Amino acid sequence: MIQISVRPTRTLDVRAGQFFYLNLLDFSLTSAFRSHPFQVSWADRDANGRQVLDFIVQPRRGFTRKLLLADPRVQYKIALEGPYGRHPRLEEYVTVLMFATNAGISGHLLYMKELFALRQDPSTRTQKISLFWEIDAEVYRYWVREWMDHLLGLDNESNGVEFLDLHVFVRGGYLSSETEPGQIEQPGVRDRLTIHYYPLDARSQVASEIEKRDGPTIISQKS
C-alpha cells in the first residue's frame, strides 16, 4: 500500500466519498495516473494549520505500480483536480454498517470521522457505526492504525455511550506464532475493537446487526 499526502495551496471543501485526479508533475510517466480517480481517505490539518489530504493507493498495474519507484524522502509537486463525486448523507440512518476488504478500508474512514463531527447536530439520526474489515494478513491492520486510533479516541470521549464498533477479521498471516484460527481478541480498555482470526461471514453479520437495531439501516461496502 502507498499513502500519498497532499497539502493543497488553498483549503478545499472536501467531503467523504469524494475523489480527485492527481498528476505528479515531476515524476515520470504521469499521464496514466490521470485516468484513475483516487478517493480521499482522510482529511485533516497539520501542526501549522495547513490542510492535508491523504490517499491510500493499492499498486496494481500501470502507473499505480510505478508509484513504488517513487522516493518517499522526496516531496513531489502534484496537480490536484477535484473534488468530484456525490456525498451520501449517512447521518440520516440510525445504524451504519460498513464492510471492507483489505485496502477498501480507506473508503470508510472519512465517513466515520464526519459522523463523529455530526453527532452533536440535532438532525443527525446515527446512533451506531459498525465496521467489519476483512484482511488477508494481520500486518495490514497497521496501514491505517493512526486514523483508527484517532476514531477510537473520539469514541472514548463519548461519555460512556458507544458509538463505534470495530471488527477486524484476519484470514491468515498472523503476527504471533501462538495465534490459532478461530481466536477472538479485544485489545484495549473499552473493547471498541474486536479481532477475529477467521474469515468474515458478511451475511450473518448483517442479519445479526439488523435484528438487534431499531430504525433505518444503511450498508456500505468497499473492496
**More reliable by pLDDT, 206 or 59:** 206
| pLDDT tens digits, 92-128 | 999 999 999 998 999 999 999 999 999 889 999 999 9
pLDDT at 74 over 70: yes
Measured distance CA(110)–CA(205) in Å, rounded: 23
pTM metric for this prediction: 0.88
Domain range list for the chain? 2-84, 90-222
- Look at residue 158 in the predicted model and tell me its pLDDT: 58
Do 90-222 and 2-84 fall under one CATH topology? Answer: no
pLDDT at 28 over 50: yes
What dotted CATH number matches 2-84? Answer: 2.40.30
pLDDT at 161 over 90: no
- Look at residue 94 in the predicted model and tell me its pLDDT: 94
Question: Domain 90-222 belongs to what architecture?
Answer: 3-Layer(aba) Sandwich (3.40)
Which pLDDT band holds residue 189 (cuts at 50, 70, 90)?
Answer: low
Ranges 64-68, 153-157, 178-182, most confident:
178-182
* Average pLDDT score over the chain: 87
Mean pLDDT of 152-161: 70
Least-confidence region, from 25-29, 88-92, 164-168: 25-29
pLDDT at 157 over 70: no
CA–CA distances in Å: residue 9 to residues 6, 24, 77, 145, 155 = 10, 15, 11, 27, 32
Which pLDDT band holds residue 43 (cuts at 50, 70, 90)?
Answer: very high
CB 144 within 8 A of CB 105: yes
Measured distance CA(8)–CA(20) in Å, rounded: 12
Q: Euclidean distance between the first and final Cα of the chain, in Å?
A: 14
199: cell is 474469515
- Look at residue 32 in the predicted model and tell me its pLDDT: 46
- Look at residue 22 in the predicted model and tell me its pLDDT: 84
- Look at residue 201 in the predicted model and tell me its pLDDT: 96
Mean pLDDT of 29-36: 52
